[in-house]
Structure 1
Amino acid sequence: MGKKTNHISKRIQSFISKQNMFFVGTAADEGRVNISPKGMDSFRVINKNKIIWLNLTGSGNETAAHLLKHNRMTIMFCAFEGNPLILRLYGTAKIFHPRDSEFNTYISHFPTTVGARQIIEMDVDLVQTSCGFAVPLMEYKADRDTLVEWSEEKGQKGIEEYWIEKNSESIDGFETKITNN
Protein backbone atom coordinates (compact mmCIF):
# COMPACT_ATOMS: atom_id res chain seq x y z
CA MET A 1 0.00 0.00 0.00
CA GLY A 2 1.30 3.48 0.88
CA LYS A 3 4.93 4.44 1.37
CA LYS A 4 6.81 7.59 2.37
CA THR A 5 10.29 8.69 1.42
CA ASN A 6 12.26 11.94 1.35
CA HIS A 7 13.18 11.86 -2.35
CA ILE A 8 11.94 11.09 -5.85
CA SER A 9 13.24 7.65 -6.79
CA LYS A 10 13.90 6.54 -10.38
CA ARG A 11 10.71 4.43 -10.21
CA ILE A 12 8.65 7.46 -9.12
CA GLN A 13 10.30 9.63 -11.77
CA SER A 14 9.35 7.04 -14.40
CA PHE A 15 5.73 7.08 -13.14
CA ILE A 16 5.64 10.91 -13.31
CA SER A 17 6.97 10.94 -16.88
CA LYS A 18 4.00 8.81 -18.02
CA GLN A 19 1.31 11.05 -16.48
CA ASN A 20 -0.68 13.48 -18.60
CA MET A 21 -2.18 15.39 -15.70
CA PHE A 22 -1.31 16.50 -12.18
CA PHE A 23 -2.94 18.58 -9.48
CA VAL A 24 -1.39 21.46 -7.52
CA GLY A 25 -2.62 22.36 -4.03
CA THR A 26 -1.79 25.60 -2.19
CA ALA A 27 -3.28 27.77 0.56
CA ALA A 28 -2.51 30.98 2.39
CA ASP A 29 -3.03 31.13 6.15
CA GLU A 30 -6.51 32.53 5.52
CA GLY A 31 -8.88 32.43 2.55
CA ARG A 32 -9.66 29.60 0.20
CA VAL A 33 -7.62 26.47 -0.48
CA ASN A 34 -6.80 26.08 -4.18
CA ILE A 35 -6.48 22.84 -6.12
CA SER A 36 -5.64 23.24 -9.81
CA PRO A 37 -5.47 20.57 -12.50
CA LYS A 38 -2.48 20.92 -14.84
CA GLY A 39 -1.66 19.26 -18.12
CA MET A 40 0.25 19.65 -21.35
CA ASP A 41 4.01 19.09 -21.34
CA SER A 42 4.61 21.25 -18.25
CA PHE A 43 6.31 19.17 -15.52
CA ARG A 44 9.97 18.24 -15.03
CA VAL A 45 11.94 16.42 -12.35
CA ILE A 46 15.28 18.25 -11.99
CA ASN A 47 16.78 15.94 -9.37
CA LYS A 48 15.67 13.67 -6.53
CA ASN A 49 14.46 16.67 -4.46
CA LYS A 50 13.60 19.36 -7.02
CA ILE A 51 10.86 19.71 -9.62
CA ILE A 52 9.75 22.56 -11.85
CA TRP A 53 6.51 23.14 -13.67
CA LEU A 54 5.51 25.66 -16.27
CA ASN A 55 2.47 27.64 -15.14
CA LEU A 56 0.49 28.72 -18.19
CA THR A 57 -1.86 31.69 -18.36
CA GLY A 58 -5.30 30.83 -17.04
CA SER A 59 -8.40 32.44 -15.65
CA GLY A 60 -6.89 32.76 -12.17
CA ASN A 61 -3.47 32.88 -10.54
CA GLU A 62 -4.20 31.42 -7.11
CA THR A 63 -1.02 29.35 -6.85
CA ALA A 64 1.21 32.41 -7.23
CA ALA A 65 -0.79 34.43 -4.70
CA HIS A 66 -0.72 31.61 -2.16
CA LEU A 67 3.00 30.93 -2.55
CA LEU A 68 3.75 34.59 -1.84
CA LYS A 69 1.81 34.23 1.43
CA HIS A 70 2.98 30.74 2.41
CA ASN A 71 5.41 28.75 0.26
CA ARG A 72 4.11 25.25 0.99
CA MET A 73 2.74 23.24 -1.92
CA THR A 74 1.47 19.74 -2.66
CA ILE A 75 1.46 18.12 -6.09
CA MET A 76 -0.62 15.03 -6.74
CA PHE A 77 -0.58 12.55 -9.60
CA CYS A 78 -3.16 9.77 -10.06
CA ALA A 79 -2.73 6.75 -12.30
CA PHE A 80 -5.84 6.85 -14.49
CA GLU A 81 -4.35 4.13 -16.72
CA GLY A 82 -2.35 1.02 -15.84
CA ASN A 83 -1.60 -0.03 -12.27
CA PRO A 84 -3.34 2.01 -9.56
CA LEU A 85 -1.24 4.59 -7.72
CA ILE A 86 -1.60 8.00 -6.14
CA LEU A 87 1.59 10.04 -5.72
CA ARG A 88 1.93 13.19 -3.64
CA LEU A 89 4.98 15.46 -3.58
CA TYR A 90 5.18 17.82 -0.59
CA GLY A 91 7.53 20.73 -0.22
CA THR A 92 8.20 24.44 -0.50
CA ALA A 93 8.07 26.41 -3.72
CA LYS A 94 9.22 29.63 -5.39
CA ILE A 95 7.74 31.52 -8.33
CA PHE A 96 9.83 32.77 -11.25
CA HIS A 97 8.44 35.19 -13.84
CA PRO A 98 9.77 35.92 -17.35
CA ARG A 99 11.61 38.91 -15.85
CA ASP A 100 13.62 36.60 -13.49
CA SER A 101 16.92 34.98 -14.50
CA GLU A 102 15.76 31.61 -13.07
CA PHE A 103 12.78 31.64 -15.43
CA ASN A 104 15.13 32.12 -18.36
CA THR A 105 17.35 29.29 -17.11
CA TYR A 106 14.46 26.84 -16.63
CA ILE A 107 12.32 27.69 -19.68
CA SER A 108 14.64 25.64 -21.92
CA HIS A 109 13.27 22.49 -20.19
CA PHE A 110 9.88 23.03 -21.87
CA PRO A 111 8.56 23.33 -25.40
CA THR A 112 7.95 26.93 -26.50
CA THR A 113 4.43 27.85 -25.37
CA VAL A 114 2.74 31.22 -25.83
CA GLY A 115 1.22 32.24 -22.51
CA ALA A 116 3.95 30.87 -20.24
CA ARG A 117 3.52 33.14 -17.22
CA GLN A 118 5.59 31.56 -14.43
CA ILE A 119 7.83 28.66 -13.60
CA ILE A 120 7.33 27.15 -10.17
CA GLU A 121 10.33 25.49 -8.54
CA MET A 122 9.58 23.11 -5.68
CA ASP A 123 12.01 21.63 -3.17
CA VAL A 124 10.50 18.24 -2.35
CA ASP A 125 10.89 17.06 1.25
CA LEU A 126 8.30 14.25 1.31
CA VAL A 127 7.16 11.79 -1.35
CA GLN A 128 4.10 9.72 -0.48
CA THR A 129 2.41 6.98 -2.46
CA SER A 130 -0.93 5.39 -1.75
CA CYS A 131 -2.92 2.63 -3.39
CA GLY A 132 -5.26 4.50 -5.73
CA PHE A 133 -7.56 1.47 -5.83
CA ALA A 134 -10.68 3.69 -6.05
CA VAL A 135 -9.33 5.99 -8.78
CA PRO A 136 -11.28 5.26 -11.98
CA LEU A 137 -9.65 3.84 -15.08
CA MET A 138 -9.81 6.42 -17.85
CA GLU A 139 -8.21 6.49 -21.25
CA TYR A 140 -6.10 9.49 -22.29
CA LYS A 141 -7.26 10.84 -25.63
CA ALA A 142 -5.20 14.02 -26.24
CA ASP A 143 -4.22 17.41 -24.85
CA ARG A 144 -6.72 20.14 -25.60
CA ASP A 145 -5.39 22.80 -27.94
CA THR A 146 -7.84 25.46 -26.73
CA LEU A 147 -5.33 27.24 -24.45
CA VAL A 148 -2.61 27.27 -27.11
CA GLU A 149 -5.01 28.62 -29.75
CA TRP A 150 -6.38 31.26 -27.34
CA SER A 151 -2.85 32.35 -26.35
CA GLU A 152 -1.61 32.53 -29.93
CA GLU A 153 -4.65 34.59 -30.95
CA LYS A 154 -4.09 37.05 -28.07
CA GLY A 155 -0.35 37.34 -28.72
CA GLN A 156 2.22 38.31 -26.08
CA LYS A 157 0.92 41.88 -25.66
CA GLY A 158 -2.67 40.64 -25.29
CA ILE A 159 -1.55 38.01 -22.77
CA GLU A 160 0.25 40.64 -20.68
CA GLU A 161 -2.88 42.82 -20.71
CA TYR A 162 -4.89 39.77 -19.60
CA TRP A 163 -2.43 39.21 -16.72
CA ILE A 164 -3.08 42.74 -15.48
CA GLU A 165 -6.85 42.36 -15.81
CA LYS A 166 -7.36 38.77 -14.58
CA ASN A 167 -4.15 37.49 -12.93
CA SER A 168 -2.98 40.34 -10.68
CA GLU A 169 -4.77 39.16 -7.58
CA SER A 170 -6.35 36.01 -6.22
CA ILE A 171 -10.06 35.47 -5.58
CA ASP A 172 -9.31 36.41 -1.96
CA GLY A 173 -7.64 39.68 -3.05
CA PHE A 174 -4.01 38.56 -2.51
CA GLU A 175 -1.39 40.03 -4.85
CA THR A 176 0.27 37.72 -7.37
CA LYS A 177 3.11 40.04 -8.54
CA ILE A 178 2.53 38.91 -12.13
CA THR A 179 3.71 42.34 -13.27
CA ASN A 180 6.47 44.60 -11.96
CA ASN A 181 3.84 47.03 -10.60
Structure 2
Amino acid sequence: MGKLFTALLPEHREFIQKQRMFFVGTAPLHEEGHVNISPKGYDALRIFSPTEVAYLDLTGSGNETSAHIEENRRITFMFIALEGPPMILRLYGKGRVILPGTEEWNHWAPQFELLPGTRQIICAELHAVKTSCGYSIPYYSYSGERETLKKWAEKKGESELAQYQHEKNTTSMDGLITTLGQAASGKV
Protein backbone atom coordinates (compact mmCIF):
# COMPACT_ATOMS: atom_id res chain seq x y z
CA MET A 1 0.00 0.00 0.00
CA GLY A 2 1.57 3.33 1.08
CA LYS A 3 5.29 4.06 0.85
CA LEU A 4 7.21 6.96 2.36
CA PHE A 5 10.20 8.68 0.73
CA THR A 6 12.41 11.60 1.74
CA ALA A 7 12.42 13.11 -1.78
CA LEU A 8 10.82 12.82 -5.20
CA LEU A 9 11.99 9.89 -7.29
CA PRO A 10 12.06 10.05 -11.10
CA GLU A 11 8.82 8.01 -11.27
CA HIS A 12 7.10 10.50 -8.93
CA ARG A 13 8.22 13.38 -11.14
CA GLU A 14 6.90 11.57 -14.23
CA PHE A 15 3.55 10.95 -12.51
CA ILE A 16 3.22 14.61 -11.44
CA GLN A 17 3.99 15.88 -14.93
CA LYS A 18 1.09 13.83 -16.35
CA GLN A 19 -1.48 15.28 -13.94
CA ARG A 20 -3.71 18.14 -15.06
CA MET A 21 -4.87 19.03 -11.56
CA PHE A 22 -3.52 18.91 -8.03
CA PHE A 23 -4.67 19.95 -4.57
CA VAL A 24 -2.94 22.06 -1.93
CA GLY A 25 -3.75 21.65 1.76
CA THR A 26 -2.83 23.99 4.62
CA ALA A 27 -4.15 24.71 8.11
CA PRO A 28 -3.70 27.28 10.87
CA LEU A 29 -2.16 26.25 14.18
CA HIS A 30 -5.24 26.85 16.33
CA GLU A 31 -7.75 24.00 16.39
CA GLU A 32 -10.77 26.21 15.72
CA GLY A 33 -9.18 27.40 12.46
CA HIS A 34 -10.29 26.10 9.10
CA VAL A 35 -8.31 23.52 7.15
CA ASN A 36 -8.03 24.68 3.54
CA ILE A 37 -7.87 22.42 0.49
CA SER A 38 -7.53 24.19 -2.86
CA PRO A 39 -7.72 22.57 -6.30
CA LYS A 40 -5.19 23.89 -8.82
CA GLY A 41 -5.29 23.62 -12.59
CA TYR A 42 -3.47 24.99 -15.64
CA ASP A 43 0.21 24.26 -16.21
CA ALA A 44 1.12 25.92 -12.92
CA LEU A 45 3.45 23.54 -11.07
CA ARG A 46 7.21 23.24 -11.49
CA ILE A 47 9.61 20.71 -9.97
CA PHE A 48 13.01 22.28 -9.33
CA SER A 49 14.73 19.43 -7.51
CA PRO A 50 13.79 16.20 -5.70
CA THR A 51 12.96 18.35 -2.66
CA GLU A 52 11.70 21.64 -4.13
CA VAL A 53 8.49 22.45 -6.00
CA ALA A 54 6.60 25.66 -6.70
CA TYR A 55 3.37 26.71 -8.32
CA LEU A 56 2.01 29.87 -9.85
CA ASP A 57 -0.89 31.00 -7.67
CA LEU A 58 -3.73 32.92 -9.29
CA THR A 59 -6.12 35.40 -7.69
CA GLY A 60 -9.08 33.75 -6.03
CA SER A 61 -11.86 34.58 -3.61
CA GLY A 62 -9.57 33.89 -0.66
CA ASN A 63 -5.90 33.45 0.13
CA GLU A 64 -5.90 30.88 2.92
CA THR A 65 -2.76 29.12 1.69
CA SER A 66 -0.71 32.30 2.03
CA ALA A 67 -2.08 33.07 5.50
CA HIS A 68 -1.35 29.56 6.77
CA ILE A 69 2.15 29.54 5.27
CA GLU A 70 2.81 32.94 6.83
CA GLU A 71 1.79 31.53 10.21
CA ASN A 72 3.37 28.06 10.21
CA ARG A 73 4.78 27.19 6.74
CA ARG A 74 3.10 23.72 6.61
CA ILE A 75 1.83 22.66 3.17
CA THR A 76 0.73 19.41 1.54
CA PHE A 77 0.28 18.79 -2.18
CA MET A 78 -1.88 15.91 -3.41
CA PHE A 79 -1.96 14.41 -6.90
CA ILE A 80 -4.40 11.67 -7.90
CA ALA A 81 -4.46 9.43 -10.96
CA LEU A 82 -7.72 10.00 -12.80
CA GLU A 83 -6.48 8.01 -15.81
CA GLY A 84 -4.18 5.00 -16.01
CA PRO A 85 -2.99 2.97 -13.01
CA PRO A 86 -4.35 4.09 -9.63
CA MET A 87 -2.14 6.23 -7.39
CA ILE A 88 -2.25 9.03 -4.85
CA LEU A 89 0.94 11.03 -4.33
CA ARG A 90 1.37 13.50 -1.48
CA LEU A 91 4.20 15.97 -0.97
CA TYR A 92 4.77 17.33 2.54
CA GLY A 93 6.82 20.43 3.09
CA LYS A 94 7.44 23.91 4.35
CA GLY A 95 6.21 26.68 2.09
CA ARG A 96 6.99 30.27 1.40
CA VAL A 97 5.17 32.91 -0.60
CA ILE A 98 6.94 34.95 -3.26
CA LEU A 99 5.28 38.22 -4.25
CA PRO A 100 5.63 40.20 -7.48
CA GLY A 101 8.06 43.08 -7.22
CA THR A 102 10.52 41.27 -4.96
CA GLU A 103 14.03 40.19 -5.85
CA GLU A 104 13.02 36.57 -5.33
CA TRP A 105 10.15 37.06 -7.79
CA ASN A 106 12.62 38.11 -10.47
CA HIS A 107 14.39 34.77 -10.00
CA TRP A 108 11.29 32.52 -9.91
CA ALA A 109 8.75 34.16 -12.24
CA PRO A 110 10.63 33.39 -15.50
CA GLN A 111 10.13 29.68 -14.72
CA PHE A 112 6.38 30.08 -15.34
CA GLU A 113 4.03 31.33 -18.00
CA LEU A 114 2.53 34.27 -16.11
CA LEU A 115 -1.23 34.02 -16.52
CA PRO A 116 -3.84 36.74 -16.11
CA GLY A 117 -4.57 37.13 -12.40
CA THR A 118 -1.17 35.91 -11.23
CA ARG A 119 -1.02 36.73 -7.53
CA GLN A 120 2.08 35.04 -6.11
CA ILE A 121 4.28 31.96 -6.34
CA ILE A 122 4.10 29.33 -3.63
CA CYS A 123 7.37 27.43 -3.14
CA ALA A 124 7.84 24.39 -0.94
CA GLU A 125 10.88 22.62 0.42
CA LEU A 126 9.80 18.98 0.78
CA HIS A 127 10.63 16.74 3.72
CA ALA A 128 8.41 13.76 2.81
CA VAL A 129 6.80 12.16 -0.24
CA LYS A 130 4.15 9.50 0.23
CA THR A 131 2.41 7.24 -2.24
CA SER A 132 -0.79 5.32 -1.60
CA CYS A 133 -2.97 3.06 -3.69
CA GLY A 134 -5.82 5.25 -4.93
CA TYR A 135 -7.82 2.12 -5.68
CA SER A 136 -11.16 3.83 -5.00
CA ILE A 137 -10.51 6.91 -7.18
CA PRO A 138 -12.80 6.81 -10.25
CA TYR A 139 -11.63 7.36 -13.81
CA TYR A 140 -12.20 10.78 -15.32
CA SER A 141 -11.29 11.98 -18.78
CA TYR A 142 -9.65 15.34 -19.37
CA SER A 143 -11.54 17.50 -21.87
CA GLY A 144 -9.82 20.87 -21.49
CA GLU A 145 -9.02 23.80 -19.24
CA ARG A 146 -11.66 26.23 -18.03
CA GLU A 147 -10.83 29.72 -19.23
CA THR A 148 -13.20 31.44 -16.77
CA LEU A 149 -10.58 32.61 -14.26
CA LYS A 150 -8.26 33.97 -16.95
CA LYS A 151 -11.11 35.83 -18.65
CA TRP A 152 -12.33 37.23 -15.31
CA ALA A 153 -8.84 38.55 -14.49
CA GLU A 154 -8.35 40.03 -17.97
CA LYS A 155 -11.71 41.79 -17.76
CA LYS A 156 -10.88 43.28 -14.35
CA GLY A 157 -7.55 44.68 -15.50
CA GLU A 158 -4.54 45.39 -13.29
CA SER A 159 -6.05 48.22 -11.24
CA GLU A 160 -9.33 46.47 -10.39
CA LEU A 161 -7.47 43.21 -9.76
CA ALA A 162 -5.15 44.92 -7.28
CA GLN A 163 -8.18 46.41 -5.50
CA TYR A 164 -9.89 42.99 -5.42
CA GLN A 165 -6.74 41.39 -3.96
CA HIS A 166 -6.57 44.12 -1.33
CA GLU A 167 -10.20 43.53 -0.34
CA LYS A 168 -10.33 39.72 -0.55
CA ASN A 169 -6.78 38.36 -0.28
CA THR A 170 -5.03 40.15 2.61
CA THR A 171 -6.72 38.30 5.51
CA SER A 172 -7.83 34.67 5.86
CA MET A 173 -11.32 33.63 6.91
CA ASP A 174 -9.86 33.05 10.41
CA GLY A 175 -8.37 36.56 10.57
CA LEU A 176 -4.76 35.62 9.79
CA ILE A 177 -2.79 38.14 7.75
CA THR A 178 -1.59 36.85 4.37
CA THR A 179 1.74 37.69 2.78
CA LEU A 180 -0.13 40.16 0.54
CA GLY A 181 -1.61 41.72 3.68
CA GLN A 182 1.82 42.03 5.25
CA ALA A 183 3.18 43.62 2.06
CA ALA A 184 0.27 46.08 1.97
CA SER A 185 1.06 47.14 5.55
CA GLY A 186 4.79 47.44 4.80
CA LYS A 187 5.80 44.46 6.98
CA VAL A 188 7.34 42.40 4.15
What TM-score, normalized by structure 1, do the two folds share? 0.97
For the residues of structure 1 that align with 2:107 and 2:128, how far apart are their CA atoms? Answer: 25
The amino acid of 1:40's aligned partner reads Y
Q: 1:9 maps to what in 2?
A: 9
Matched residue type, 1:28: P
Superposed, 1:10-29 pairs within 5 Å as: 10-29=10-29
Deviation track 1:91-150 (CA, whole Å, cap 9, x = no partner) reads 101111002211221111111212111101100110000000001100011110000000
Determine helix, strand or coil for the equivalent of 2:67.
Answer: helix
Residue among 90, 93, 96 paired with 1:91? 93
> Displacement, 1:52?
0.6
Unaligned segments of structure 1, at least 5 residues: none
* TM-score in terms of structure 2 length: 0.94
For residue 131 of structure 2, what is the aligned residue in structure 1?
A: 129
Which aligned pairs between 1:155-174 and structure 2 lie closer than 5 A?
155-174=157-176
Taking the aligned partners of 1:180 and 1:165, their CA distance within structure 2 comes to: 11
Question: How far 1:177 moved relative to its partner?
Answer: 3.0
Output the aligned Cα RMSD.
0.9
Q: How do 1:1-181 and structure 2 match up within 5 A?
A: 1-30=1-30, 31-178=33-180, 179-181=183-185
| Contact in 2 for aligned 1:114/1:156 (Cα 8 Å) | no
- Which 4+ residue blocks in structure 1 deviate beyond 2 angstroms? none
Q: 1:158 is paired with a residue of what secondary structure? A: helix
Give a deviation string over 1:7-51, Cα, whole Å, max 9, x none.
Answer: 111110010001011010101112111111111111010001000
Q: Which runs of 5+ in 2 are unaligned?
A: none
Alpha-carbon distance in 1 for matches of 2:138, 2:111: 31
Contact 2:97 2:179 (C-alpha < 8 Å) held by counterparts: no
Identity of matched residues, %:
44
